[in-house]
């Protein structure tokens, strides 16, 4: 199904995100024939000179980061550029003229997407101007797409939300959480709700714990200025990790509509047990990387990175235990873990099932491995089910095996980029895989207690080596409940 005719007004058109993700993703939609022929993109930034310069920029982005480029010339002919400082009130009038002209030229029916791929400090200003200068006055649809971070805590998120709500309705706001565009994150729902064998077991009677890990090999790279003020808790847990937990824990929606799905996810966040300040250390631990070896190369400690203060108290690792107080999940811990400069790049979910009542095959200390359902989100995509079977031969002994499904090997090609799917959804007006304000607010409320406690105390940093699986306290968090991280499953 093709997207409707529309204009995309892209603020931050020369930024890293636009270059690495947005242009290649939009191009893929175009080449697959999913993008309406009636589309135009207006890039807004300060650096470039004009349309020609911008088109070369987009071309370069697709040649560098995209997979294909056969119809590039045709594609970039839809791109227009306006040099514009977003805090300069006078230039919005000019922008409106350009947008109105393109609307007519491409018969865009007044449909407009305003994509803010720039620092959140500008979101309020831009939204305000779009309304005041008449760009949001249109006969078609208008949608605002914004990137993370959505605020720094609950208070700043509320302020930001109030500002953009002056110009857009909640249903017109598309808050990107690119994890929600990932193939296997979208697959959580399907695995759960399209299979008879999982849903009956998907509760506290059969599941002992659930683990969500997102680890990176990369360090802070050139994002230190942003990262050092935020840390892993705000950068990863408040959004991506909480979103994955709500998809894993939500009740089946009555139908697959945006409102129904979001409402089930919100209920999970409402059932999340709030942590009291004095309990923070019991439920959450943090870490910061020290120097170490990665792929045979020495890498510096976080505190020695460019633009990081030598006594930085910012965490580059978080592990935590979440409890969801409802009938389905009472007593089942959801462990989450995320960190930079870890041993491997991996995002995965492990569902550990409870042990069976007795081991009939017990022999000299032998034990049965628990059944695990592993959902690999990235870089591998697929699911693995861990079972016990009979060891071949005369004796009755068990051995663990893995039933494996990998989308990479089945389709023979990479699944579409998260951004490609999210742009497509947004153009079609499907907000299911974007974050609703209620989710943002509830998750900040939960996170704020932890960050407040952590800010008041100096972390025992650095406490894990680059290239390791994180600090010892992370293993201890599970060990005290009698569990361990399934790192190599
Ligand atoms: P960036 O710093 O690379 O780009 C910023 C863009 O904004 C540039 O095009 C710049 O010209 C423009 N800009 C800055 N000030 C301006 C002004 N006053 N007037 C007009 N234009 C101005 O940033 P980025 O990495 O592309 O990130 C953009 C947004 O996406 C941020 O909210 C970021 O947190 C978010 N994000 C980025 C990534 C990523 O992979 N880069 C991932 C997730 C979220």
Coil vs helix vs strand at 488: coil
Q: Which helix (H) or strand (E) holds 74?
A: helix 72-76
Neighbour count for residue 394 (Cβ, 10 Å): 6
Are 84 and 126 spatial neighbours (Cβ–Cβ below 8 Å)?
no
358: which residues sit within 8 A by CB, 6+ positions away?
none
> What is the Å distance from ligand 1's center to 12 Cα?
5
Q: What pLDDT is stored for residue 412 in this prediction?
A: 44
Choose which residue among 11, 13, 15 to substitute to test ligand 1 binding: the one with the highest number of ligand atoms within 8 A of its C-beta: 15
Instruction: Please identify every stretch of the chain with a pLDDT value under 50, giving residue numbers as ranges.
Output: 411-412
Return the ligand 1 atom nearest residue 84 CA: 20
Q: What is the pLDDT of residues 189-227, one digit of tens each?
A: 999 999 999 999 999 999 999 999 999 999 999 899 999
> What is the Å distance from ligand 1's center to 126 Cα?
13
Are 466 and 341 spatial neighbours (Cβ–Cβ below 8 Å)?
yes
ipTM summary value: 0.96
Residue with CA at minimum distance from ligand 1 atom 4: 15
Q: Can you tell me the distance from the alpha carbon of 445 to that of 449, in angstroms, rounded to the nearest whole number?
A: 7
Choose which residue among 9, 11, 16 to substitute to test ligand 1 binding: the one with the highest number of ligand atoms within 8 A of its C-beta: 16
Return the ligand 1 atom nearest residue 149 CA: 34
In angstroms, the Cα distances linking 260 to 52, 139, 147, 426 are: 45, 28, 23, 18
> What is the Å distance from ligand 1's center to 374 Cα?
35
Q: What pLDDT is stored for residue 84 in this prediction?
A: 87
Q: What is the pLDDT of residues 421-472, one digit of tens each?
A: 999 999 999 999 999 999 999 999 999 999 999 999 999 999 999 999 999 9
Choose which residue among 10, 11, 12 to substitute to test ligand 1 binding: the one with the highest number of ligand atoms within 8 A of its C-beta: 12
Q: What pLDDT is stored for residue 415 in this prediction?
A: 62
- Cβ–ligand 1 distance for 86 under 6 Å, the answer yes
- Cβ–ligand 1 distance for 236 under 6 Å, the answer no
Return the ligand 1 atom nearest residue 47 CA: 11
- Cβ–ligand 1 distance for 34 under 6 Å, the answer no
Are 398 and 388 spatial neighbours (Cβ–Cβ below 8 Å)?
yes
Q: What pLDDT is stored for residue 414 in this prediction?
A: 55
- Cβ–ligand 1 distance for 417 under 6 Å, the answer no
> What is the Å distance from ligand 1's center to 163 Cα?
19
- Cβ–ligand 1 distance for 119 under 6 Å, the answer yes
Q: Can you tell me the distance from the alpha carbon of 473 to that of 117, in angstroms, rounded to the nearest whole number?
A: 37
Residue with CA at minimum distance from ligand 1 atom 38: 17
Q: What pLDDT is stored for residue 394 in this prediction?
A: 84
- Is 0.90 surpassed by the pTM of this model? yes
Are 140 and 6 spatial neighbours (Cβ–Cβ below 8 Å)?
yes
């Amino acid at each position: 199904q093709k997207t409707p005719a529309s204009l995309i007004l892209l603020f931050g058109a020369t930024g890293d995100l636009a270059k690495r993700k947005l242009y290649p993703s939009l191009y893929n939609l175009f080449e697959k024939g999913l993008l309406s022929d009636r589309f135009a993109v207006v890039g807004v930034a300060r650096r470039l000179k004009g349309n020609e310069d911008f088109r070369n920029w987009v071309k370069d982005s697709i040649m560098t980061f995209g997979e294909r480029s056969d119809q590039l010339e045709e594609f970039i002919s839809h791109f227009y550029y306006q040099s514009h400082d977003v805090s300069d009130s006078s230039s919005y009038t000019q922008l409106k003229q350009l947008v109105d002209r393109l609307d007519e030229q491409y018969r865009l029916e007044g449909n407009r997407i305003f994509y803010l791929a720039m620092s959140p400090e500008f979101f309020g200003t831009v939204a305000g101007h779009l309304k005041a200068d008449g760009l949001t006055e249109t006969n078609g649809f208008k949608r605002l797409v914004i990137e993370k971070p959505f605020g720094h805590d609950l208070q700043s998120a509320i302020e930001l939300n109030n500002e953009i709500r002056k110009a857009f309705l909640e249903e017109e706001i598309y808050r990107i959480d690119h994890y929600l565009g990932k193939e296997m994150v979208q697959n959580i729902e399907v695995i759960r709700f399209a299979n008879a064998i999982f849903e009956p077991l998907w509760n506290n009677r059969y599941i002992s714990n659930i683990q969500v890990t997102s680890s990176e090999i990369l360090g802070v790279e050139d994002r230190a200025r942003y990262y050092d003020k935020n840390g892993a808790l705000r950068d990863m847990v408040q959004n991506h990790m909480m979103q994955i937990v709500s998809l894993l824990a939500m009740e089946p929606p009555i139908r697959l509509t945006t409102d129904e799905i979001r409402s089930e996810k919100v209920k999970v966040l409402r059932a999340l047990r709030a942590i009291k300040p004095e309990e923070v250390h019991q439920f959450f631990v943090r870490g910061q990387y020290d120097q170490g070896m990665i792929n045979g190369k020495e890498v510096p400690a976080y505190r020695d990175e460019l633009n990081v203060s030598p006594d930085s108290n910012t965490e580059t690792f978080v592990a935590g235990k979440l409890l969801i107080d409802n009938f389905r999940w009472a007593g089942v811990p959801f462990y989450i873990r995320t960190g930079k400069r870890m041993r491997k790049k991996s995002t995965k979910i492990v569902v550990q099932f409870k042990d069976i009542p007795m081991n009939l095959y017990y022999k000299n200390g032998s034990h049965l491995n628990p059944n695990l359902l592993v959902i690999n989100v990235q870089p591998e995509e697929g699911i693995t089910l861990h079972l016990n079977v009979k060891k071949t031969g005369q004796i009755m002994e068990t051995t663990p095996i893995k039933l494996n499904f990998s989308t990479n090997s089945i389709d023979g090609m990479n699944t579409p980029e998260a951004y490609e799917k999210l742009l497509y959804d947004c153009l079609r007006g499907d907000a299911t895989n974007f974050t609703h304000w209620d989710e943002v607010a509830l998750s900040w409320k939960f996170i704020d207690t932890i960050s407040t406690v952590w800010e008041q105390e100096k972390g025992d940093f650095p406490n894990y080596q680059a290239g390791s699986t994180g600090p010892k306290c992370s293993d201890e968090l599970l060990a005290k409940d009698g569990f361990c991280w399934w790192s190599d499953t």
